Amino acid sequence: MKASRLAAAAAVAGTAVLALSAPAFAHVSVQPEGPAAKGGYAVVDFKVPNERDNASTTKVEVNFPADHPIASVMPESIPGWKIDVTKSKLAKPLTVHDEKIDEAVTKVTWTADGKGIEPGYFQKFPLSLGALPENTDQLVFKAIQTYSNKEVVRWIEVPQEGQDEPENPAPVLELSAATDDHHGTSSAENTAGKTEKTAAAQDSGDGSDTTARVLGVVGIVVGVAGVAYGVLAGRRRTAA
């Protein structure tokens, strides 16, 4: 009886943990595919899960922060989705690479022209962004998710440091320290390093091959000499 009660209590506790932890992963989020450095460019994925078992997600809207405008926003084509990029005039023009920009993207909307995100699935919506601002450590994107049954979920609550995660948190993109040239210097250096290592490995391999060939030739010469010596010795014994 005690064992049964303990098992039942454990099951209830496990269900409670799952229920409490569900909001932590079942919301719209944003993650960079690589570094998202201040002043640079990055590809980010907005991950949208379907939280309903009786409706599909048919529309996703991502609003860009007005206090940190981004001049260049390029979406990736996604089969089954229509994409609209909304731009607005800036009250204060941006200067990007010595060029003044007077408008920026304020919203990107994905509308399903098929089944959308069905129950039990999620969808990633990639965007290329730049130049990322240099005067902040994070960007907050407020998102709106619409279901096929007309239900609308607003992921617009800004998470606060030191506080519990809100019920409907807005996606937050954390920015890393700026690179030297804002255009992937680190990646270029990594590529160069890999190239040098590959060349060194090839040189080492070539040296090993040359040594092996020399040793092979020496072995053949020694073998031939041994055979010749054996033949001559045999002839001497026969003559004797």
| This prediction's pTM | 0.65
pLDDT band, very low/low/confident/very high, at 192 (cuts 50, 70, 90): very low
Distances (CA, A) of 155 to 46, 62, 82: 12, 9, 21
pLDDT at 19 over 50: no
pLDDT at 90: 82
Distances (CA, A) of 84 to 50, 56, 87, 224: 21, 20, 10, 80
Token representation of residue 240: 């004797």
Question: Which pLDDT tens digit goes with each residue over 117-142?
Answer: 999 999 999 999 999 999 999 999 99
pLDDT at 103: 87
pLDDT at 42 over 60: yes
Cβ-contact 129, 33 below 8 angstroms: no
Question: Which pLDDT tens digit goes with each residue over 80-130?
Answer: 999 999 999 887 777 766 777 788 899 999 999 999 999 999 999 999 999
Q: Under DSSP, is residue 211 helix (H, G, I), strand (E, B) or coil?
A: helix
CB within 8 A of 127, min separation 6: which ones? 43, 44, 46, 62, 73, 74, 75, 76, 108
pLDDT band, very low/low/confident/very high, at 196 (cuts 50, 70, 90): very low
